[in-house]
Amino acid sequence: MVNEPERIAVSLTLGALLEVSSWPKPGNVHRTRDFDDTRFEHFLASAVAAQPVLREVAEMATRGERVPLGRYLYEAVRHSMSAHTGGNTNLGILLLDVLLASALARASLDPSDVRREALKLAKETEERDAYYLYRAIRLAGAGGMRRIRGSRAPDVSRPEDVLEKGITMYEALQAAAHRDAVAEDWVRGLERSLRIGLRVIELREEYDINEAVVRTFLEELATRPDTLIWRKHGFRVALRVSEAAQEILRIAGDRPVTETRALYELDRELHEDGINPGSTADLLAAGVGYACYLGMRP
C-alpha cells in the first residue's frame, strides 16, 4: 500500500519532525521552547502539510518527468503556511527536501549517486523555477533573505524581475550561497545534508534518537558558523556560538551531550539573546530525513 514515492515523503516528513523535536537544540524552537511568532506545534503542522507535495514530487521524478522544483517549493511552502498561524517554519527545509525527494526517486541508496542526481536536477532549473523560489521566499517572509545583493540576482521582493533578467533557480541560489548554508548545499547537490544523515545513523547506533540528533547538530555547529546567525548578528556572534558548541562536546566526551548542564545553559542564553542557528537546523532536518529513508528508526 505504501509505494516508493510515499516512502520518500514519509521519511522526509519524519526527518523534519525529529529535527524540531530533538531537545534541547540550543537556540531553536524545540519541545519546551517557542519563538514569539512560531510555536513547536507550527512546525508539526508544517511538516505534515508538506508531505503530499513531497510525495507528488517523488512521483513525478520516478516517472522520469522534469520536476518544476521552484513551483513545488512554492506549493509546499503555501500548504505549510496555511496549516498554522505562525511565521516561517520550513522554507529552508523544503528547499532542500523538494530537491532531495526528486533525487532519491532517481538515485540508488548510495549518497554519491543521490548527490549526482541532485546536482543534475539543480542545474536543469529554469527562470520559472527562480520566479517561484522568489515567491516562496516572500510568502514565508524568511529572515534576512531580502538582501541577496551584489550579484546578478534581483531583490527577492520582485519575483517578476527574475523572469526578465533570465536567471535560473540554480543561478539565484548560487548568488546566495556565500551567505546562506542552505542555498550553498542546494547548489552543491546536498553534500552536507547527506553527510549529516550518515552521521546521525552512525550516532544512532550508540545513542538514543534524541541524543543522536542533538549531538549531530552540535558537531555541525561546532565545525561551521551558522549562516542565519551570521546574517542577523554578524560573524563574531556566529563564531562564538560555534565555540560554545565545541566546548559542550568537549565537556561531554562520550557521555550524552543532553546530560550536560552546559547544553541547557547555552539553550537558555541563545533564546534570551534571540540567536537562532536556523540554517544548521534546516540542513539537519533534511539529513535526518535521509537517514530515515535509509532505514534509521527512532
* From 47-55, 94-102, 136-144, 189-197, span contacting a second copy (CB under 8 A): 47-55
8 neighbors 294 (Cβ within 8 angstroms): no
The residue within the footprint of a second copy, chosen from 8, 28, 29, 45 (CB under 8 A), is 45
* By the rule CB under 8 A, 60 interacts with a second copy: no
Over the window 78 to 97, marking each residue x when it contacts a second copy by CB under 8 A and - when it does not, the resulting string is -x---xxxx-----------
The residue within the footprint of a second copy, chosen from 39, 135, 215, 231 (CB under 8 A), is 39
Name the H helices within 28-166: 40-62, 69-82, 91-106, 111-123, 127-140, 159-165
Number of residues in contact with a second copy, rule: CB under 8 A? 36
Contacts of 176 (CB under 8 A, 6+ apart): 145, 148, 151, 153, 183
State the minimum distance, in angstroms, from the CB of residue 92 to a second copy.
20
Using the minimum distance from each CB to a second copy, give the nearer residue, 78 or 188: 78
Grid coordinates given for 58: 517523488
Query: What is the torsional sign of CA 18, 63, 57, 278?
Result: positive
State the minimum distance, in angstroms, from the CB of residue 241 to a second copy.
25
Using the minimum distance from each CB to a second copy, give the nearer residue, 208 or 243: 208
3-state secondary structure (DSSP) of residue 33: strand
Helix, strand, coil % in the chain, rounded to nearest 5: 70, 0, 30
Q: Give contact residues for a second copy (rule: CB under 8 A).
A: 1-2, 6, 9-10, 13-14, 17-18, 21, 31-32, 39-42, 44-45, 48-49, 51-53, 55-56, 75, 79, 83-86, 208-210, 297-298
